């Protein structure tokens, strides 16, 4: 019950503030667009760096958007209501992570192949890019949520969150970008996608518990 | 027999888990540990740097491993022990556990940095450049980042008890991640072959090189233990400065 | 049954930023009582309420809820806590905010009647952003009519309320105590001679 109610509430909140959904997407597209300008417009060069560029941009977009996961709830006092409620925090935490990914992560996944095309990534790799982003971005949101739960209410929010979370993002980055490079070179991708799926399952099962613990710690418990 | 061992272990756990007991006996322990640590480190380093035979391929430049390898392995060990302490702190709410994390983090980060710097210095004669994105160096760089994250978190939270608990959780998450990071970096390396040179191969190290290496490793571990104990004692003094037992212990 | 206190603290002590907020708090509160937690600003009123609500864990000494010690029930089942921030998301309407709380507390109730009672009829579906501070406080306090919990922990419940609102809440607190509930609230406002108090901020905690 607390799960459904929380998902519903998060979706409702996002409808009232659509900028929260759109802004990370714009950020993602803009960061990717900086690379041809900064590096070179040559197709052969761009197609090589495309997987990494798209993944780094996606990672930063998730990181920046997930920072606000608990901010408004903390400032308004709604987070305290969540913490005193006689419900296990695991489900509401999972609900917040999933709803947040649906609203901010999924749009990135859908735009990913388009950006891949603009960076001259072989078209044959775009379905793998889509799948890899689909499996990888929820993991990024879940891991990011752990960092947010520990830094909620701290003044040094954003940069601190990046310091905590970016090293934890390395496996997703490596396998996510790696699988796209594999696909671009015509190599088999199933094994790597399976690894990304395993990371996703592990993070979705463990992260809500860590987020729950983190929220209690941040409240002073 | 087994239950007796278990009982002893749980007794130690409860004794060393109490700041007061820890403070008293770590003082005694340090009196022995410091000389031992210094002697072992000096022996290992002097033997390794001055007396061990030169490598037939790399000449004298390989000698930096007598610092590099101990520092790298101690940094890893330190991070894993932070994770274990974090778990103990979170599950059993043991006060000493988060004090230990706070004690380990800075020296662990320094060791990771030392491992990186010595690795870079070693890289110049062997690879011809100070930095190569080699699997080991990259892992160590990420290890340094993980340490810096814990330190940054501790510094950002004003209440020391809350900072300790937050750092506990982050260390546990970090340790789970370290395994995956290590694996992913190795895979990443195999993906981008080319720049690496296998320097320390699988060939067995001769005993006259291995013994000083092991001794200096032991020395660095002991030095690490000493600094951790000293830092933990300082933190106990800070937290318990109003306690009667501390005033009595310091007199 | 009534002899057993609802809340019992033993040598409760809390310090923050190297400053002792309170110490040696031995306090028994029973059903049917109203307790005011008083004291100057920064004396630890909010911290004490947060400790009792289970939000703040850094304290020495202990506190228990003796009546529920036997059952394994989570003490949070018995508590209604309202913090000094109203806890409402500005983007949501009063109704939506309350529905989420009710779902978290696993309670079925209709908030409409309570909102009407607090003079919020017609505001149920207006986003909270367009309500005044007093109205937001009223929305939060409407839980006192909706949720059925024996112990109320209220941090500064009278903030931003007008005279009517204060009377309304006072009346509700008396009702709850009379029907065997326990009210603990922090405020400078002592509305009844029967209200007992815990005074923080002095050399010693004062109970009366």
**How far does the CA of residue A186 sit from the closest CA of chain B (Å)?**
14
> Rg of chain A's alpha carbons, rounded to an integer?
18
Strands (E), chain A: none
Contact C76 A86 (CB under 8 A): yes
Contact C58 B161 (CB under 8 A): yes
Q: Which domain holds residue A37?
A: 2-219
Residues of C in contact with A86 (CB under 8 A): 74, 76-77, 105-106
For A13-61, the pLDDT digits (tens) are 998 988 888 999 999 999 999 999 999 899 999 999 999 999 999 999 9
In a domain, B35, yes or no: yes
ipTM, 2 dp: 0.92
Question: Tell me, what's the pLDDT at C73?
Answer: 73
Question: Tell me, what's the pLDDT at B192?
Answer: 65
- Interatomic CA distance for residues A125 and A179, integer angstroms: 9
Percent of chain C predicted with pLDDT > 70? 99
Q: pLDDT at residue B198 above 70?
A: no
Does B53 reach chain C within 8 Å, measured CB to CB? no
Question: Tell me, what's the pLDDT at B204?
Answer: 63
Q: Which long-range contacts (CB under 8 A, 24 or more apart) does B50-53 make?
A: B51/B212, B52/B208, B52/B209, B52/B212, B53/B206, B53/B208, B53/B209
Q: What pairs with residue C12 in β-bridges? A: C25
Residue A190: both structure tokens together:
């199933």
Question: Tell me, what's the pLDDT at B175?
Answer: 93
Contact A175 B184 (CB under 8 A): yes
Q: Which chains touch C (3 or more CB pairs under 8 A)?
A: A, B
Neighbours of B45 (CB within 10 A): 19
Per-residue pLDDT band for B196 (boundaries 50, 70, 90) equals: very low
Domain count, chain B: 1
**How far does the CA of residue C193 sit from the closest CA of chain A (Å)?**
31
Per-residue pLDDT band for A74 (boundaries 50, 70, 90) equals: very high
- Interatomic CA distance for residues A158 and B88, integer angstroms: 29
Does C81 reach chain A within 8 Å, measured CB to CB? yes
> Of B149, B173, B191, which has the smallest distance from its Cβ to A178's Cβ?
B191
For A142-152, the pLDDT digits (tens) are 999 999 999 99
- Interatomic CA distance for residues B139 and B81, integer angstroms: 18
Coil/strand/helix, residue C69: coil
Strands of the sheet containing C7-16, edge to edge, are C19-29, C7-16, C60-64
Contact C54 A84 (CB under 8 A): yes
Coil/strand/helix, residue A50: helix
Per-residue pLDDT band for B129 (boundaries 50, 70, 90) equals: confident
Comparing B190 with A121, which gets the higher pLDDT? A121
User: Mean pLDDT throughout B66-93?
Assistant: 91
- Output phi, psi for B65, to 5 deg: -65, -20
- Interatomic CA distance for residues A69 and A96, integer angstroms: 8
Domain count, chain A: 1
Contact A146, A210 (CB under 8 A): yes
CA C70 to chain CA mean position, Å: 24
**What is the end-to-end Cα distance of chain C in Å, rounded?**
23
In a domain, B11, yes or no: no
For A107-132, the pLDDT digits (tens) are 999 999 999 999 999 999 999 999 99
Q: pLDDT at residue B194 above 60?
A: no
Contact A210 B173 (CB under 8 A): yes
Query: Average model confidence (pLDDT) for chain B?
Result: 86
Q: pLDDT at residue B86 above 80?
A: yes
In a domain, B149, yes or no: yes
Closest CA to C137 of C114, C167, C160: C160
Residue entry with tokens 């879940």? A142
Q: pLDDT at residue B201 above 80?
A: no
Domains of chain C are: 7-207 (3.40.50.300)
Q: Which chains touch B (3 or more CB pairs under 8 A)?
A: A, C
Question: Tell me, what's the pLDDT at B197?
Answer: 42
Instruction: With a cut of 70, list the residues of chain C below it in pLDDT.
Output: 1-2
Kindly identify which residue of chain C lies nearest to residue A15, measuring between CA atoms: C91
Kindly identify which residue of chain A lies nearest to residue C97, measuring between CA atoms: A9
Does A88 reach chain C within 8 Å, measured CB to CB? no
For C99-145, the pLDDT digits (tens) are 999 888 888 888 888 888 888 888 888 999 999 989 999 999 999 99
- Output phi, psi for B169, to 5 deg: -65, -45
User: Mean pLDDT throughout A88-94?
Assistant: 93
Q: Which domain holds residue B138?
A: 21-53+60-198+205-250
In a domain, B4, yes or no: no
Q: pLDDT at residue B193 above 60?
A: no
């Amino acid at each position: 019950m607390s799960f459904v109610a929380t998902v519903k509430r998060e979706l409702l909140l996002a409808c009232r503030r659509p900028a929260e959904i759109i802004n990370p997407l714009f950020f993602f597209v803009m960061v990717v667009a900086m690379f041809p300008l900064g590096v070179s417009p040559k197709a052969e060069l761009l197609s090589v760096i495309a997987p990494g560029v798209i993944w780094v941009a996606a990672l930063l977009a998730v990181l920046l958007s997930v920072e606000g996961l608990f901010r408004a709830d903390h400032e308004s006092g709604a987070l305290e209501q969540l913490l005193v409620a006689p419900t296990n925090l695991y489900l509401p935490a999972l609900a917040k992570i999933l709803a947040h990914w649906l609203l901010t992560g999924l749009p990135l996944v859908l735009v990913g192949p388009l950006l891949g095309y603009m960076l001259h990534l072989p078209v044959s790799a775009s379905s793998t890019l889509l799948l890899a982003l689909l499996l990888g971005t929820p993991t990024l949101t879940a891991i990011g949520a752990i960092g947010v739960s520990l830094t909620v209410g701290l003044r040094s929010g954003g940069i601190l969150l990046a310091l905590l979370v970016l090293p934890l993002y390395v496996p997703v980055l490596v396998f996510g970008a790696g699988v796209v490079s594999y696909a671009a070179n015509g190599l088999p991708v199933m094994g790597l996608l399976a690894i990304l799926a395993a990371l996703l399952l592990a993070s979705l099962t463990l992260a809500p518990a860590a987020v729950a613990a983190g929220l209690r710690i941040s409240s002073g418990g | 027999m087994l239950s007796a061992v278990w009982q002893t272990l749980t007794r130690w756990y409860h004794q060393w888990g109490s700041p007061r007991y820890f403070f008293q006996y770590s003082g005694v322990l340090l009196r022995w540990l410091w000389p031992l640590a210094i002697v072992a480190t000096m022996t290992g380093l002097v033997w390794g740097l001055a007396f061990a035979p030169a490598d037939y391929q790399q000449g004298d430049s390989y000698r930096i491993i007598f610092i590099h390898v101990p520092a790298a392995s101690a940094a890893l060990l330190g991070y894993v022990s932070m994770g274990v302490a974090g778990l103990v702190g979170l599950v059993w709410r043991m006060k000493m556990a988060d004090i230990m994390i706070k004690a380990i983090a800075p020296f662990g980060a320094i060791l990771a940095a030392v491992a990186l710097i010595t690795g870079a210095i070693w890289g110049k004669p062997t690879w011809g450049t100070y930095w190569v994105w080699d699997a080991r160096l990259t892992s160590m760089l990420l290890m340094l980042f993980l340490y810096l994250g814990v330190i940054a978190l501790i510094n950002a939270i004003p209440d020391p008890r809350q900072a300790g608990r937050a750092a506990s959780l982050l260390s546990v998450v970090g340790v789970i991640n370290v395994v995956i990071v290590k694996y992913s970096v190795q895979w990443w390396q195999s993906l981008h072959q080319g720049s690496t040179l296998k320097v320390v191969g699988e060939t067995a190290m001769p005993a006259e090189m291995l013994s000083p290496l092991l001794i200096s490793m032991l020395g660095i571990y002991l030095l690490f233990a000493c600094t951790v104990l000293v830092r933990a004692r300082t933190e106990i003094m800070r937290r318990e400065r109003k306690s009667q037992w501390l005033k009595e212990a310091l007199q | 049954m009534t002899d057993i206190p609802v809340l019992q603290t033993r040598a409760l002590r809390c310090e923050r930023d190297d400053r002792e907020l309170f110490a040696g708090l031995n306090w028994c509160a029973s059903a049917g009582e109203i307790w005011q937690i008083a004291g100057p600003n920064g004396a630890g009123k909010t911290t004490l309420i947060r400790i009792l609500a289970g939000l703040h864990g850094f304290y020495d000494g202990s506190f228990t809820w003796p009546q529920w010690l036997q059952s394994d029930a989570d003490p949070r089942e018995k508590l209604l806590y309202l913090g000094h921030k109203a806890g409402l998301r500005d983007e949501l309407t009063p109704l939506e905010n309350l529905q989420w709380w009710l779902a978290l507390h696993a309670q079925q109730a209709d908030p409409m009647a309570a909102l009407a009672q607090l003079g919020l009829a017609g505001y149920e579906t207006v986003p909270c952003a367009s309500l005044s501070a007093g109205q937001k406080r009223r929305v939060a306090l409407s839980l006192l009519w909706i949720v059925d919990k024996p112990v109320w922990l209220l941090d500064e419940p009278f903030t931003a309320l007008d005279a009517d609102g204060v009377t309304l809440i006072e009346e509700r607190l008396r009702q709850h105590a009379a029907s065997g509930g326990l009210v603990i609230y922090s405020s400078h406002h002592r509305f009844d001679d029967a209200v007992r108090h815990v005074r923080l901020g002095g050399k010693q905690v004062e109970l009366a």
